[in-house]
């Protein structure tokens, strides 16, 4: 199927990738974005082998690898014992060259945005989407878009087009992009835990756009209902708490000279029962939002975008193409939504028993085959064979 008029709501990773893929398939595409100047929100993320496979098909993998930091393992220690309770290595995949890549969110955004601009795909800014009817997007202020054959909802977990409200998760995280310092593993996502309600981590994310110094994404777990108390307590008290958990973070904390250096990210869990309807499809967090514990958000959005472009290319009718796009992704989405719901409480909750199990029972079995391979597949996003299903 060629020549559809498609409106993409949202200029994030999923929206940009979908617009690029669809335009290259011969469709007329435009993007609607609420910001006056499109920009990413957040600090760092992980591109897994799944997301990289889509970027390779887009011809953008080399640019990604030039900006990102290769990640060979995930390493987490429980404090104060220092016991290793998470150790997942990409080498366990036994796939040559399979790695994760830590990347500054703005770097990935810039790579995709430049490609979209090169394709002359229109981006209409200052358009806050409030609804959709008969192919027309409705905007704050009462205006509407021209009619589109297809609307792609890439607005994220808070999308007003999704219908079903996402369930807010109690814990979010403070994020900051900081200059890399010595004292951390340059090829690992490192984390420190105390029970399941105290966690901090450091992820190498390579270079920010136009930058020359390597960056680290630093994050700190925080309950959303304690954000005001955290702000009232001030930086000094909080820094003391972080240093007490992980003394090596001191040089990173020294770079945080004001509360504005930290961004609080809230998370929610939702899986739409019907992610597509007449002339409308939801992708990425608009379809399936969850905590970032498994690090799959951007990768799942890239896979959704690829599935949509593939289905439109294979099917002759729009309705059947949308059903095909959902079918290509549904089992993988359900699998990872279930895994996230299972594992997140062991790392982000007020539970006492779950972290006890995590710290004492799981590690011995996690070092044995086939648990090693299963863990690596889960982290890489390849558990359930999504690439094979998508022809990647």
| Cβ neighbours around 33 below 10 Å, total | 23
pLDDT value of residue 165: 82
Looking up tokens 């760092």, which residue turns up? 44
DSSP 18: H
pTM: 0.96
pLDDT value of residue 338: 96
> What are the structural domain ranges in the chain?
5-167+268-389
The pair of structure tokens assigned to 308 is 């949509």
Of all residues in the chain, what percent are helix, strand and coil, respectively (each to 5)? 40, 25, 35
pLDDT digits (tens, 9 = 90+) for 82-101: 999 999 999 999 988 899 99
Whole-Å CA distances, 348 to 163, 169, 239, 366: 27, 9, 20, 20
Q: What torsion, rounded to 10 degrees, do the Cα atoms 353, 356, 357, 363 define? A: 160
pLDDT digits (tens, 9 = 90+) for 154-172: 999 999 999 888 899 999 9
pLDDT at 42 over 80: no
SS3 121: coil
pLDDT value of residue 41: 67
pLDDT value of residue 391: 96
Whole-Å CA distances, 166 to 147, 156, 169, 288, 299: 28, 10, 9, 9, 20
pLDDT value of residue 333: 98
HSE, CB side, 13 Å, CA atoms: give it for residue 230.
22
What does pLDDT average to over the chain?
Answer: 95
pLDDT band at 271 (very low <50, low <70, confident <90, very high): very high
| Cβ neighbours around 77 below 10 Å, total | 18
pLDDT digits (tens, 9 = 90+) for 111-123: 999 999 999 999 9
The CATH architecture to which 5-167+268-389 belongs is 3-Layer(bba) Sandwich (3.50)
- Residue 150 forms beta bridges with which residues? 6
pLDDT band at 132 (very low <50, low <70, confident <90, very high): very high
């Amino acid at each position: 199927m060629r020549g559809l008029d498609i409106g993409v709501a949202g200029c994030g990773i999923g929206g940009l990738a979908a617009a690029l893929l669809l335009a290259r398939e011969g469709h007329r595409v435009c993007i609607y974005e609420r910001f006056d100047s499109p920009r990413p929100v957040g600090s760092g993320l992980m591109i897994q082998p799944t997301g990289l496979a889509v970027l390779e098909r887009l011809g953008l993998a080399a640019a990604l690898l030039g900006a990102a930091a290769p990640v060979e393992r995930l390493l987490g220690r429980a404090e104060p014992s220092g016991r290793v309770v998470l150790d997942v290595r990409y080498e366990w995949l036994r796939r040559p060259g399979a790695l994760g890549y830590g990347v500054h969110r703005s770097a990935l955004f810039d790579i995709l945005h430049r490609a979209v601009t090169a394709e002359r795909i229109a981006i209409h800014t200052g358009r806050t989407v409030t609804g959709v009817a008969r192919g027309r997007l409705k905007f704050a202020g009462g205006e509407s878009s021209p009619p589109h054959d297809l609307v792609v909802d890439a607005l994220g977990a808070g999308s007003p087009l999704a219908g079903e409200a996402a369930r807010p998760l109690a814990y979010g995280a403070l994020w900051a992009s900081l200059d890399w310092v010595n004292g951390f593993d340059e090829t690992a996502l490192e984390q420190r835990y105390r029970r399941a309600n105290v966690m901090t981590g450091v992820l190498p994310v390579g270079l920010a756009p136009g930058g020359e110094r390597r960056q680290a994404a630093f994050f700190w777990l925080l309950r959303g209902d304690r954000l005001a108390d955290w702000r009232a307590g001030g930086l000094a008290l909080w820094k003391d708490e972080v240093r007490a958990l992980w003394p090596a973070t001191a040089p990173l904390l020294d770079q945080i000279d004001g509360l504005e250096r930290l961004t609080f990210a809230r998370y929610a869990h939702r899986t739409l029962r019907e992610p597509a309807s007449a002339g409308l499809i939801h992708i990425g967090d608009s379809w399936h939002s969850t905590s970032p514990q498994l690090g799959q958000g951007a990768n799942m959005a890239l896979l959704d975008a690829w599935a949509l472009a593939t289905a439109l290319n294979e099917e002759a009718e729009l309705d059947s193409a949308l059903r095909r796009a959902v079918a290509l992704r549904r089992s993988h989405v359900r699998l990872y939504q279930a895994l996230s719901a299972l594992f997140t409480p062991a790392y982000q909750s007020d539970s006492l028993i779950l972290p006890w199990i995590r710290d004492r029972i799981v590690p011995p079995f996690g070092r044995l085959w086939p648990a090693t391979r299963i863990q690596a597949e889960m982290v890489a996003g390849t558990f359930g064979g999504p690439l094979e299903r998508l022809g990647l």
